Chains A and B, each alone.
Chain A
Amino acid sequence: MNTHVQKTGLLDGADLGSVLKTTFLRLNPVYQLRNPVMFLVFVGSIVTTGIFAVMVVRPGALIGGGQPLWFVGLITFWLWFTLLFANFAEAIAEGKGKAQADSLKKARRDVLAKKLAKASDRDKFTTVPANSLRKGDIVVISAGDFVPTDGQVIEGVASVDESAVTGESAPVIRESGGDRDAVTGGTRVLSDWLVVRVTSDPGESFLDRMIGLVESAKRQKTPNEIALSILLAALTIIFLLVCATLLPYSLFSVTRAGSGMVITITVLVALLVCLIPTTIGGLLSAIGISGMQRLIRANVIATSGRAVEAAGDVNVLLLDKTGTITFGNRQAVEFFPAPGVTQQQLAEAAELSSLADETPEGRSIVTLARRLFSLPEKAASSLDATFIPFSADQRVSGIVIKERHIMKGAGDAIGKLVGLKGGVVPAEVTTQVEDIARKGGTPLMVAENSQVLGVVYLKDIVKPDIKQRLAELRKMGIKSVMITGDNPLTAAAIASEAGVDDFVAQATPETKLKYIRQMQEGGELVAMVGDGTNDAPALAQSDVAVAMNSGTQAAKEAGNMVDLDSDPTKLIEIVEIGKQLLMTRGALTTFSIANDLAKYFAIIPAAFATTYPVLGALNVMGLKSPQSAILAAVIFNALIIIALIPLALKGVKYRAEPAAKMLSRNMFVYGLGGIIAPFIGIKLIDMGLAAIGLA
């Protein structure tokens, strides 16, 4: 499904050397403070290192609590590794981002811009560095120049190579006034020239935003990440309390039992690190970074991580009919001749009238006529004919070959025309016209002089895979709504063919906006895709708004995401990425907490082995010695971070299915799995330790 997401390896362009360097540099306490869970590991590592140092200098020091030196040393070693593994996860996620950012940065060259004093005078410009341009400045860009920064075309037409940003090598047309008036900094004008009004200040352009997103320095925590961090911090405090109070409890127990040794600081630190949610704590930022990267790999730029998370929550999806649900253009599918006219006669007349019609509809009529009746190819220029182009006021187009006036157009327009020439529209044809309209098609009447020849059935072709995708959305609990300018009859027919849940017919910018507001009043989260300037208000109102890169600057600014491929169905992928992000966090949190059960069973009997030997009954894993048990738990705790890095980077697999089913599967895998896995893991590590004589 994620056709845009390339299969990637673990490193995926990240430079191992710099990843390792970052891994160690992140041991900086100031940096560690940002993550309370890992900071506690950091403090713990320093404490045990201190104890180890004291024990080396003065063997038998009280602080060692009688633990063997090798034990304290190994615990210390693995605690540092726990920390390094977490750093590594983050560094690797960032490294991938850097690789992406670097290729983007190449596009952000320090180019010179030709700044105009007056938009009207293209020849009088001053050359200034691109990064001095401010919002509202006017620049001219000639063939071969790089576009200095984001802007809106106010004059001219040019082909632009946008491959640096979109990866798409075919050049695109950018022109003023239309729906393609946006240019992006870093792209290059290939032919002609453009006058552009700058729309972003230095450092805020599209490219800057994109780089900012993949480089974690500017990454802000998303709302859900903040909520989860609070929960993790609370759990950490609880476990800190549990471990800190264990010392007095142990002292008391030893005093009262009159035997055994007080629990050592080393063991307490080991217990603490094992209990606090290091797995999710260590991988949390990697999950966030790689979620953004998945989005970028899908060629979508979000203005914030918040928008990506919101995408996962969307429950109403507004889809433009044209281009999303149907192929952009209507196509001729059938000829319905009038009484007394053969189908071939109608087809030939329709073909002639459309020869000069360059619209997709016109071309589809020519293609259909030729296919059905094997008409010879003929070029419009080879005929001695006059073409009558479509005019908004007559609403017909056609051809005049000598005496033959062949016209095609909407039923009422042709009827009017024929009526002027003394003809009438046969009742059968009128019925046919209504019939086609009811089926959601567009009837096109063809007439020669005063005679109506028949009707061409132009059909909106629904994309073949859209029905299935919409059904998937429904399974996820997302309602799809089709937006169209068509009349309600046509809209209803297409809606039922595509399987959308609702539609808004004869949509204007106002009705769209009203519809979205109404949905939001009811508590729904609305997502929409748009490209035109008239979409901008609706985009701004939507909770998740994806603008097409091919669209206008206004649309891009109103949206909180831009799809570089300009693919309206991309929204579905964005929703999946948003959901995956949350699911991965949830799954690893559950796994992390569930792990604690086994760790208790490993550490508690070991920690109190000398005070209360009877607690050995809790050693259900049959771990070899108190030292190997604690060590095995600490090693497991560190290794699980490394083991889960691929999952954090790739995300938990998302399937379109109801929430209840998804929960039961994830609960089974990460909840139950999280309880069982460490029992096996710790036992195996313990056996390994025993095998090498460390028990």
Chain B
Amino acid sequence: MSSILTGNGWLQLALSMAVMLACVIPLGGYMAKVFQGQKNLMSPILGWLERLLYKACGIDPDTDMDWKTYAMAVLLFSAVSFLLLYVMLLCQKLLPLNPQAVPGMTPDQAFNTSVSFLTNTNWQSYAGEAAMSYFLQMVGLTVQNFFSPAVGLAVMVALIRGLTRKQSGGIGNFWTDMIRANLYILLPLSLILAVILGSQGVVQTFAPSISAHGLQGANQLLAVGPVASQEAIKMLGTNGGGFFNANSAHPFENPTPLTNFLEVMALLLIPAACCHTFGVMVGDRRQGFAILAAMTIIFVPLMVFGTVMEQGGNPHFAALHIDQTASALQAGGNMEGKETRFGIVSSTFFAAATTAVSCGAVNAMHDSFTPMGGFVPLLLMKFGEVIYGGAGAGLYGMLIFVILTVFIAGLMVGRTPEYLGKKIQAFEIKMASVAMLAPCVFILIGTAVAVMTKAGQAGIFNPGAQGFSEVLYAFTSATNNNGSAFAGLSANTPFYNTALGICMLAGRFFIIIPVLAIAGSLAAKKTVPVSAGTLPTHNGLFVATLIGIVVIVGVLTYAPTLALGPVVEHFNMRP
């Protein structure tokens, strides 16, 4: 049994990390300029459009909102998004661009799907090619693929403003933030990526499915559609909802190792850059780098661990003397559920990245990973999608952990805890507790209900610990707004559609609202000047403490469930 990565494997991992980190400073700085309304690279090209949009929508870009107004705007916007998408899904049949004549969805699935896309989860209880018309893919889903990460970015920027403003009532203007996020960040990046993806063979057409003669001689219907345009924002916006059911494992979504590399970079790009945006906006880049460091230090070992476990292969196969060694001719390791054009390393890196970032796109089937290989994506999600996390959402989630860390660590230096000069008091702790508690409540209770009820058990096909892992994965993925699936679970039932839909809503808004409340409360406070008695929040010690808190909260909360799922499976598999 070979468990050691090849030099090529290490090179791939190192290169991926290096490219991602290299993009952080330019993109993060650019985003900071965009959100602060400063002149930036794109303003000569897009400035007029921004001003036109404000005029057309009747927005005064400089009108500040207090946190309650901001939160109401977020909720209102999301509610309208939901209604539009929900109605479109139900009446799909009446809408244009439907060459396959796809029928409307059932109400429960339409509820699940619209919630899924507006919360940036992109959990899919449907198969894209079978259940979705081109119109819905473009006007329904892709629109939300732009809007939902923009909402995340807007909330993040509002929180940053809370930290930087002094005795202020406002935390910015939601509509301005939304327009800027879409216009300057998501649209240009998507355009570039879509063109490159198209050049690599990702399809982009309105033509109906193609009937082709397969290798086995049978006729096959090949689904096509406007994929490239959706694929770009699916990754960049940390959405993850595939055009096809097979998601990024499908050759029309992700045809080559190059597209795979670009896609995985695209999904990491914005969440990682947000750290630097934060550093620039608070006027101390070290603060942003400290957070980025904490995320990276959690991510890299887990990603490497997962890769090593997968490359190690299946012990049962080893017992049968099946060669699982990596060589020039084969990827080696546990290739079940993986694409041969990607091999082990590109699949496990993708799996770790897509779950660390709350993207949820997959290029391999996580269900087929070895127990410990599957443990990595599960654990990364359980950390609350803060290891890079969703666009904007990852950073504001991480800042909740920073607040908790500062509170505990700050006490230990004998001062009322403060972060960036803002005192962390009962209100902030109350809100941070709500944000920390909400995912636990919905994951744990959701899973319990599912394994205890007939409706829940009906969807579980696999035996024992694996079946448990699948349910747990589904609720974790939905609540943390990830959207990836462990498969093996039949989730298109009224029970799962409804339960997971509720979890997605809770996981999104029970964090956004407390985050905005914290932003409002912090904005109203004075800023305490830094002194020798101030707890430094940019050095190695603080990063270590932050990592400790994220890991301890995650592990303590989910240790029993992880033990009953992947850990049991892992030990069961050992000979």
Query: Which residues in A have some Cβ–Cβ distance to B below 8 Å?
Result: 223-224, 226-228, 230-231, 233-234, 237-239, 241-242, 244-246, 248-253, 256-257, 275, 309-310, 312-313, 315, 474-479, 522-525, 578-580, 582-583, 585-587, 589-590, 593-594, 596-597, 600, 604, 608, 612, 614-615, 617-618, 654, 658-660, 662-664, 666-667, 670-671
Question: B412 contacts the other chain (Cβ, under 8 Å)?
Answer: yes
Our pick among A237, A474, A612 for the contact of B568 (Cβ within 8 Å) is A612
What is the total of A-B residue contacts with beta carbons within 8 Å?
211
* Residues on the A chain within 8 Å of B548, using CB: 671
Q: Please determine whether A585 and B411 come into contact, CB atoms closer than 8 angstroms.
A: yes
Q: Check B408–A590 contact: CB distance below 8 A.
A: yes
A242-B557, A618-B567 are known; give 12 further A-B pairs, CB within 8 A.
Answer: A231-B429, A234-B434, A241-B441, A244-B448, A246-B560, A248-B448, A256-B463, A586-B411, A612-B572, A614-B574, A659-B536, A667-B544
With A248-B448, A597-B555 already in contact, the answer to whether A618 and B563 are too (CB < 8 A) is yes
Of residues 431 to 451 in B, which have CB atoms within 8 Å of A's CB atoms?
433-434, 436-437, 440-441, 444-445, 447-449, 451
CB distance from B557 to the nearest CB of A (A): 6
Q: With A256-B468, A476-B532, A594-B552 given, is the CB distance from A583 to B444 under 8 Å?
A: no
A249 near B404 (CB under 8 angstroms)?
A: no
Q: Are A663 and B541 in contact (CB under 8 A)?
A: yes
User: Does B65 sit at the interface, judged by CB under 8 A?
Assistant: no
Inter-chain CA distance A582–B533, complex, in Å, is 13
User: What are 30 residue pairs bridging A and B, where the CB atoms are less than 8 Å apart in the complex?
Assistant: A223-B425, A223-B426, A230-B430, A231-B408, A238-B437, A238-B556, A248-B448, A248-B452, A249-B448, A249-B564, A315-B531, A474-B532, A476-B533, A478-B531, A579-B414, A580-B414, A582-B411, A582-B415, A585-B411, A586-B408, A597-B556, A600-B556, A612-B465, A612-B572, A614-B572, A614-B574, A618-B563, A618-B567, A663-B412, A663-B535
CA distance in complex: A580, B415 (Å): 9
Chain A residues near B440: list those with CB within 8 A.
Answer: 238, 241-242
CB–CB A660/B412 < 8 A: no
In-complex Cβ contact of A667 among B412, B424, B436, B534 (8 A): B412
Known: A249-B561, A582-B411, A587-B412. A227 touches B429 (CB 8 A): yes
Cβ-closest chain A residue relative to B451: A252
A238 CB → nearest B CB, Å:
5
* A-facing residues in B459-511 (Cβ within 8 Å): 463-465, 467-468
Q: Tell me if A593 and B421 are in contact (CB < 8 A).
A: no
Q: Determine the residue in chain B with the shortest Cβ distance to A593.
A: B552
B458 CB within 8 Å of chain A: no
Q: 10 tightest CB-CB pairs across the interface, nearest first?
A: A477-B533, A586-B411, A579-B414, A477-B531, A234-B433, A614-B571, A477-B532, A586-B412, A252-B451, A659-B413
Closest partner residue, chain B, to A587 (CB atom): B412
Which residues in B have their C-beta under 8 angstroms from that of A248? 448-449, 451-452
With a cutoff of 8 Å between Cβ atoms, the chain A residues found around residue B452 in the complex are: 248, 251-252
Interface size on B, residues (CB 8 A): 68
Segment of B267-275, B384-392, B522-530 engaged in the interface with chain A: B522-530
Query: Which residue of chain B has its CB nearest to the CB of A521?
Result: B526
Residues of B bordering A, CB below 8 Å: 166, 404, 407-416, 421, 424-426, 428-430, 433-434, 436-437, 440-441, 444-445, 447-449, 451-452, 463-465, 467-468, 526-529, 531-536, 539, 541-542, 544-545, 548, 552, 555-561, 563-564, 567-568, 571-572, 574
Quick one: closest B residue to A241, CB to CB? B444
Smallest Cβ-Cβ distance to B428: which chain A residue: A227
Contacts of A249 in B (CB 8 A): 447-448, 451, 468, 560-561, 564
Q: Known contacts A275-B556, A658-B532; is A663 also within 8 Å of B430 by CB?
A: no
Q: A312-B414, A597-B555 are in contact. Are A253 and B468 (CB under 8 A)?
A: yes
A257's nearest neighbour on chain B, judged by CB, is B464
CB pair B444 A242 closer than 8 Å: yes
Least distance between A410 CB and chain B CB atoms (Å): 41
Which chain B residue lies CB-closest to A224? B416
CA distance A325 to B562 in the complex (A): 62
Known A242-B444, A248-B448, A248-B452: A615·B571 in contact at CB below 8 Å: yes
C-alpha spacing A251/B448, complex, angstroms: 10
The answer to whether B528 and A578 touch across the interface, beta carbons within 8 angstroms, is no
A596, closest chain B residue (CB):
B556
- From known contacts A315-B533, A477-B533, A663-B535, infer whether A597 and B416 are also in contact, taking CB-CB under 8 Å: no
Q: Which of A275, A522, A587, A604 contacts B529 (CB 8 A)?
A: A522
